[in-house]
A and B are shown apart, each in its own frame.
Chain A
Amino acid sequence: EIVMTQSPLSLPVTPGEPASISCRPSQSLLHKNGYNYLDWYLQKPGQPPQLLIYLSSHRASGVPDRFSGSGSGTDFTLRISRVEAEDVGVYYCMQSLQSPCSFGQGTKLEIK
């Protein structure tokens, strides 16, 4: 099984400032088709998770362009260019390269 390690686990951010979250899988997520099977999700308080980024860097429909994903292999990053109050919640990375899929521990973003 692939183990996903996120950092930091807690992220206090001032509105308008940037934020970034790291995700490091225990194995490369690069498929022979050239895609990295790494997704990012946000779970807002009291809601189900929502897909933000798929295949490492593709924004899901309706996701603001202040969210971006990058990385390849065993090193991935989610960036928020300017944090807004509505971005609070827990961010998870997930690998779907091989079954079973697996999530990171989650990063809790809070507003300072």
Chain B
Amino acid sequence: EVQMVQSGAEVKKPGESLKISCKGSGYKFTNYWIGWVRQRPGKGLEWMGLIYPGDSDTRYTPSFRGQVTISADKSINTAYLQWSSLKASDTAMYFCARQAEGDMDFWGTGTTVTVSS
């Protein structure tokens, strides 16, 4: 059974760093892309970027490039999304999903990130 298990909720202050994770299981981790999606409170879905764990090829939506870093450790079947300096506007739910032939077929339950002073 394919599962995407995300790390738990985070509460941070502006300027702090953060790395959240997404562990894939039940399939060959290195053969599928992992995508990240942001959902701000009460808003729609925003596709942030994705990574191919097999060779770490990474793509970003322009508005997220330089704001976040997507990485992966294929030895432990885990992808990451990280920030070096959080802002209040980063407060959101972040989903990871396996991205197959373009479509996102298995999703994690999401990680809530709250940034507040």
Contacts and interface: CB of A to CB of B under 8 A. Distances in A.
Interface of A: 1, 37, 39, 41, 43, 48-51, 54-55, 60, 90, 92, 94, 96-97, 99-106
B102 A48 contact: no
Contact of B103 (A1, A96, A103, A105): A96
Contacts of B35: 101
A92 B44 CA distance: 9
A48 B61 contact: no
Given A49-B95, A54-B101, A101 B47 contact: yes
Question: Which of B44, B50, B99, B105 has the most chain A CB within a 10 Å cutoff?
Answer: B44
A41 B101 CA distance: 15
A43 B45 contact: yes
Given A48-B108, A101-B47, A103-B44, A39 B103 contact: yes
Contacts of A106: 44-45
B110 to A, nearest CB: 6
A90 B44 CA distance: 9
Nearest to B96: A48
B49 interface: yes
